[in-house]
């Protein structure tokens, strides 16, 4: 960019900023050297045009520099680090933000999808200037869209109509909003656009005269009522005329013969006085009055709306509001964010943001300078939501803090119940990972998978929590039934009866007498609410056992992975090879303990409280066990011990240490995974052989850790 043209592009910049802008132009021009646009012009003409659009809005130098550089990372070999080094980190951050938005592909045309996309785009851009650069970029692309292939042209035009025009409207960029809509309309429906354009031009002459006449009448009437007011005529742009024709099934003459005015007064009470004055000037049309001041819209919008019979019977639509209401109405969601009820005292940054938004509303190329208050303005219009992509490109809205599991259940209950892993942006991540705006999430499922009880602690959506609890309840019921059947069969064999000898008639009699189903009875046995031997006697219709009739049944085999109905006691942490006993615990099922566990010593005398169990011979899993190692306090001893544990094929789940009095020895506490008691013995022998190890113990309970 030659220095002589700086004044033409951004005459309001300080000399130092203008010089930096010239350097950014030279850098961008060199980076894009040899590249051409579809229309055959040098590529640099595009970033320069974007820069000029932003300069019309009096954007600061950093924004203008980022506009010139916004395509160099994607289209050339330039890195963000190089941009930061040459032009500063804020400029690099803006370029990075625009680059991220460029990577998002809008794949669905559904209205809900478009709305989610708009919200996500706004939420992703921490600095509102990123969105403004993107909007200026889109405006220039729309102005030069005729060189594109028809299918791409239509896609971009529809995307503009669904996404970018509404964002411009929400930010108060009214002229940009109207131009984007009209350009999109022109490319999507060229014939309708040309017909409507000619009709508007033909009708405009008489219309302008009528507009001025009505405006003068309104001004005179308000002055007569003693009200100080500003009156503006509201001219509809082509797409808004077309949309109204479509939505309300009106002809062009019916839409174009409606005259719109906006009346701005000083106080809320003046709105109602102005309404009365206008109703005495022109008769109101019944049913066409709405009071959005007494009952504001959800986004904070306030105005009085009325429709009057104007001159020659032409409808006159009038919006009456205060200047403050006008600002909120024009800035939309952005203004709503600034005026949160719980934050009445606006911070300095918020005040500056508000001033800046108003400068955008006016879009005046005057002496306004936004440089002083644009530095790192943060905007998060949707603080409570996060927007992510499914593998098919659909956009899903979730509460902020939502995890992969929340996402899975939001897709489908079965996906949530069967999820085992997830890829976020192509990388495997834990299921508890909180999602961020723009993440692309893919769930990996397994038909044999079931919800994990630990998920309850990190999911944030009620839907996920409810489905997890429901699935766990069903799983618990199913596993309790399975355990109950094993316990019942064991009790039957103890009474000298094979389970296969029990007939359906016996079960029908028992269920009829008890009022419970067979599955419920089995589940209650598994949960310890009923004793297997009692149910066995009821099935056999014996009121009591004869002495000596009951015999010791064969032990139940434990594999260590039965599920929630059969659990290993945390008090003693049994492993294969340990002598074990099964404790029937009400509402919890069967809990496996070691024979010497202190928790079950008082149950040993009551045969109805415990079950004869043994380890299965073919167990293929690892078990958690604690060990306490006292070592000499030497440098590198922890690494030596850990390496020895790993060398014996054992994984370390946790490690803790405590220095002994005097500092000569250190106590190490390990939680390790072993296959069985033989594996543990081999591991402990290897550790005992280390010269640094003084003593070693197996820890079975929390109390033993401190002994």
Cα angle 589, 591, 593; round to 5? 165
Cα angle 273, 277, 280; round to 5? 140
465 is written with which tokens? 């929590």
| Cα gap 540→551, rounded to integer Å | 16
What's the start-to-end Cα distance of the chain, in Å? 79
User: Smallest Cα–Cα separation from 74: which of 131, 28, 140, 21?
Assistant: 28
| Cα gap 424→436, rounded to integer Å | 10
**Lookup result for tokens 């030069």:** 144
Q: What is the DSSP code string of 657-679?
A: EEEPTTSSEEEEEEEEEESSHHH
User: What own/partner pairs with CB < 8 Å and gap ≥ 24 does 446-452 have?
Assistant: 446/418, 446/420, 447/418, 449/417, 449/418, 449/419, 449/420, 450/417, 450/418, 450/475, 451/416, 451/417, 451/475
| Cα gap 550→491, rounded to integer Å | 9
CA dihedral 204, 208, 210, 216 (to 10 degrees): 170
| Cα gap 537→322, rounded to integer Å | 85
Backbone φ, ψ for residue 193 (5° rounding) = -60, -50
Reading across the β-sheet that carries 441-445, which strands appear in turn?
427-429, 419-424, 441-445
| Cα gap 671→624, rounded to integer Å | 7
| Cα gap 660→662, rounded to integer Å | 6
Cα angle 609, 613, 618; round to 5? 155
| Cα gap 493→499, rounded to integer Å | 7
458 is written with which tokens? 């990190």
> Contact, 570 vs 705, CB < 8 A?
no
Active-site amino acid positions: 74-75
**Cα atoms found within 13 Å of the Cα of residue 621, Cβ hemisphere only:** 10
- Measured in whole angstroms, the distance separating CA 75 from the mean position of its chain's CA atoms is 30
Alpha helical stretches, state H, 70-189: 72-75, 80-87, 89-103, 111-124, 128-143, 150-159, 165-170, 174-188
Per 3-state DSSP, the chain is made up of helix, strand and coil in percentages (nearest 5) of 50, 15, 30
**Alpha-carbon Rg for the chain in angstroms:** 38
Residue 168's region, left for phi above 0, alpha for psi from -120 to 50, else beta, is: alpha
Backbone φ, ψ for residue 110 (5° rounding) = -65, 145
């Amino acid at each position: 960019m030659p220095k002589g043209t700086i004044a033409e592009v951004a005459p309001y910049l300080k000399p130092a900023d203008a010089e930096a802008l010239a350097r950014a132009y030279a850098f961008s021009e060199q980076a894009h050297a040899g590249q051409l646009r579809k229309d055959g012009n040098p590529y640099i003409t595009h970033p320069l045009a974007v820069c000029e659009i932003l300069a019309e809005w009096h954007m600061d130098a950093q924004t203008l520099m980022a506009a010139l550089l916004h395509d160099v990372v994607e289209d050339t070999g330039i890195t963000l680090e190089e941009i930061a080094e040459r032009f500063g980190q804020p400029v690099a951050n803006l370029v990075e933000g625009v680059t991220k938005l460029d990577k998002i592909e809008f794949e669905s045309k559904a209205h809900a999808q478009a709305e989610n996309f708009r919200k996500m785009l706004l939420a992703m851009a921490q600095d509102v200037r990123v969105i403004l650069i993107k909007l200026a970029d889109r405006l220039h692309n729309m102005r030069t869209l005729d060189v594109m292939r028809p299918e791409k042209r239509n896609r971009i035009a529809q995307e503009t109509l669904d996404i970018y025009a509404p964002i411009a409207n929400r930010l108060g960029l009214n002229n940009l909003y109207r131009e984007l809509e009209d350009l999109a309309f022109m490319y999507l429906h060229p014939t309708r656009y040309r017909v409507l354009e000619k009709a508007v031009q033909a009708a405009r002459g008489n219309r302008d005269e009528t507009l001025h006449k009505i405006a003068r009448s309104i001004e005179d009437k308000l002055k007569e009522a003693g009200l100080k007011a500003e009156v503006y005529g509201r001219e509809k742009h082509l797409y808004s005329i077309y949309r109204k024709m479509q939505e309300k099934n009106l002809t062009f003459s019916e839409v174009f013969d409606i005259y719109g005015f906006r009346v701005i007064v000083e106080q809320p009470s003046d709105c109602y006085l102005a309404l009365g004055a206008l109703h005495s000037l022109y008769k109101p049309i019944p049913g066409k009055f709405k009071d959005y001041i007494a009952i504001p819209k959800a986004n904070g919008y306030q105005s009085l709306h009325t429709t009057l019979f104007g001159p020659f019977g032409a409808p006159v639509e009038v919006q009456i509001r205060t200047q403050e209401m006008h600002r909120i109405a024009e800035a939309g969601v952005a203004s709503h964010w600034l005026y949160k009820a719980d934050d009445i005292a606006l911070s300095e940054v918020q005040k500056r943001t508000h001033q800046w938004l108003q400068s955008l509303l006016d879009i005046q190329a005057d002496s306004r300078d936004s440089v002083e208050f644009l530095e790192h303005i943060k905007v998060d219009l949707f603080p409570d939501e996060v927007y992510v992509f499914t593998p098919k490109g659909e956009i899903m809205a979730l509460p902020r803090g939502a995890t992969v599991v929340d996402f899975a259940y939001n897709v489908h209950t079965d996906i949530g119940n069967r999820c085992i892993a997830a890829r976020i942006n192509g990388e495997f991540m834990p299921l508890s990972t909180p999602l961020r705006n723009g993440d692309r999430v893919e769930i990996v499922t397994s038909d044999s998978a079931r919800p994990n009880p630990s998920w309850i602690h990190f999911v944030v959506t009620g839907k996920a929590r409810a489905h997890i609890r429901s699935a766990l309840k069903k799983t618990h019921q199913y596993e309790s039934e399975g355990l109950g059947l094993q316990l019942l069969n064991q009790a039957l064999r103890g009474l000298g009866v094979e389970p296969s000898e029990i007939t359906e008639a016996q079960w029908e009699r028992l269920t009829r007498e008890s009022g419970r189903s067979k599955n419920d009875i089995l589940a209650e046995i598994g949960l310890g609410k009923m004793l297997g031997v009692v149910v066995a006697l009821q099935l056999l219709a014996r009121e009591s056992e004869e002495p000596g009739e009951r015999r010791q049944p064969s032990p139940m085999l434990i594999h260590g992975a039965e599920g929630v109905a059969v659990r290993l006691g945390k008090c003693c942490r049994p492993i294969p090879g340990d002598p074990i006993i099964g404790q029937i615990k009400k509402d919890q099922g069967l809990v496996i303990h070691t024979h010497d566990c202190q928790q079950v010593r008082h149950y040993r005398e009551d045969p109805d409280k415990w079950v004869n169990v043994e380890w299965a011979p073919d167990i293929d899993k690892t078990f958690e066990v604690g060990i306490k190692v006292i070592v000499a306090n030497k440098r590198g001893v922890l690494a030596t011990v850990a390496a020895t544990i790993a060398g014996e094929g054992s994984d370390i789940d946790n490690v803790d240490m405590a220095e002994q009095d005097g500092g000569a020895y250190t106590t190490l506490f390990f939680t390790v995974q072993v296959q069985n008691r033989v594996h543990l013995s081999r591991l402990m022998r290897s550790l005992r052989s280390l010269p640094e190890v003084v003593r070693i113990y197996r820890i079975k309970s929390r109390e033993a850790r401190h002994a």
